[in-house]
Amino acid sequence: MTKRELPKHVYKQKNGLYFQRRGWPSQKFQNEFGTPDFWKEYSDILNGKEKPKRVVLRNFTALIDNYRKSPRYRLLKPRTALDYDKYLNFFSSIMSGSNPASMKRKDVIRLRDSNADKLYFANYSLRVLRVLMEHCVDLGWRETNPARGVPELKTDRKDRVPWPQGFLDAYRANCPLGTRERLVMELCVGTGQRIGDVLEMRWSDIQDGAVFVRQNKTNKELLVPILPELQVTLDAASRHSVFILTNERGTNRWSYRGASQAVRNVRSKIGALTYDIHSWRYNAACELLEAGCADDLIAAVTGQSPAMVSHYTKKVRQKIRAVQAQKMRTEQKQNV
């Protein structure tokens, strides 16, 4: 339809038709254009019978409030929502009264670059802003997303690698059986799960020599058999809570911050600050590969996609295949 076909004060927006008249609140039509219900709705608005909706001030505070009430936000995983909140609060603190419809691509780039000294913050804030501005488009407050296509800042961060065996041995030597530090390490390495899923594990999840896992990020359900070294650690652990890993008072599960700090203290002590908690998931995948497991068997334990299995094991995979290739090369020369 063209503007000439539309009645007075009716304008087409990206997400529908709106009644817009100076001095009147903007109002979206609920019925399809041209239908009897549409014309009745139009008449009711003109005659004041249709109660106008409250006018929403279009600033970043209103946009963020609306986003937090939307399914787009409410369907986030709890941990992801907490991460988003930090950046949403940041946007509100610096742009609360600004109109998001006025934001341009150059403004997004300027915001990103102003935090260039904090690469992770700069890049994550760009991701959250991209989602927020997409919600702004869906509300009909603007036509395009200025954050879409803006690249993240490049980092020189090295790829994660599994903990070398020497550091695992040193960690075990400094964390005797019965400590939470030892238990969290054996659970991460033994099951190959993310730290968030490990912290959620309960004693009731252990069934017939295996631990049941419902991954928070993917909702996948796994039954992972317990390795002998993990079983020894579990046998030495106290059971005064429903959770396997508890806080100091034993009243609730161990928090991510608490576990991360405790593990960091051990890493600092043994000189393993290069290797973090998530690297233990790499250990699990790489140990399975070195044991001769195919990618589908590795995924059966870790719950990863084929692409992620390949990513986590790429360095060990290269080493194994290079040894195999050089061995074949040597044998061929000997045969000649």
- In tens digits, the chain (336 residues) has pLDDT values of 677 789 988 988 888 888 888 777 778 888 999 899 999 989 888 887 665 555 557 899 999 999 999 999 998 888 789 899 999 999 999 999 999 999 999 999 999 999 999 999 999 999 999 999 999 999 999 999 999 999 999 877 677 899 999 999 999 999 999 999 999 999 999 999 999 999 999 999 999 999 999 998 888 999 999 999 999 999 999 888 999 999 988 789 999 999 999 999 999 999 999 999 999 999 999 999 999 999 999 999 999 999 999 999 999 999 999 999 999 999 999 987
Asked if residue 64 is part of any domain, the answer here is yes
Tokens of 245: 């890993």
In this structure, are 39 and 114 located in the same domain?
no
In this structure, are 124 and 93 located in the same domain?
yes
Domain that holds residue 17: 3-46
Give the count of domains, the chain.
3
Alpha-carbon gap, residue 58 to 304, rounded angstroms? 42
- Decide which of 94, 122, 138 is a domain's last residue: 138
CA atoms within 13 A on the CB side of 224: 32
The domain spanning residue 224 has which CATH number? 1.10.443.10
Asked if residue 115 is part of any domain, the answer here is yes
In this structure, are 172 and 269 located in the same domain?
yes
Asked if residue 86 is part of any domain, the answer here is yes
Asked if residue 190 is part of any domain, the answer here is yes
φ, ψ (nearest 5 deg) of residue 107 = -70, -40
In this structure, are 27 and 95 located in the same domain?
no
In this structure, are 203 and 253 located in the same domain?
yes
Asked if residues 224 and 299 have their Cβ atoms less than 8 Å apart, the reply is no
In this structure, are 29 and 84 located in the same domain?
no
In this structure, are 134 and 208 located in the same domain?
no
In this structure, are 118 and 189 located in the same domain?
no
- The pLDDT value recorded for residue 100 is 95
In this structure, are 215 and 120 located in the same domain?
no
- Decide which of 259, 275, 291 is a domain's last residue: 275
Asked if residue 22 is part of any domain, the answer here is yes
Asked if residue 263 is part of any domain, the answer here is yes
- The pLDDT value recorded for residue 129 is 97
Asked if residues 200 and 215 have their Cβ atoms less than 8 Å apart, the reply is no
- Is residue 20 helix, strand or coil? coil
Asked if residue 207 is part of any domain, the answer here is yes
Alpha-carbon gap, residue 307 to 325, rounded angstroms? 23
- The pLDDT value recorded for residue 110 is 95
In this structure, are 9 and 40 located in the same domain?
yes
**CA nearest to 254, candidates 174, 178, 176, 184:** 184
In this structure, are 170 and 219 located in the same domain?
yes
Asked if residue 320 is part of any domain, the answer here is no
In this structure, are 172 and 248 located in the same domain?
yes
Strand order in the sheet with 210-214: 206-207, 210-214, 221-225
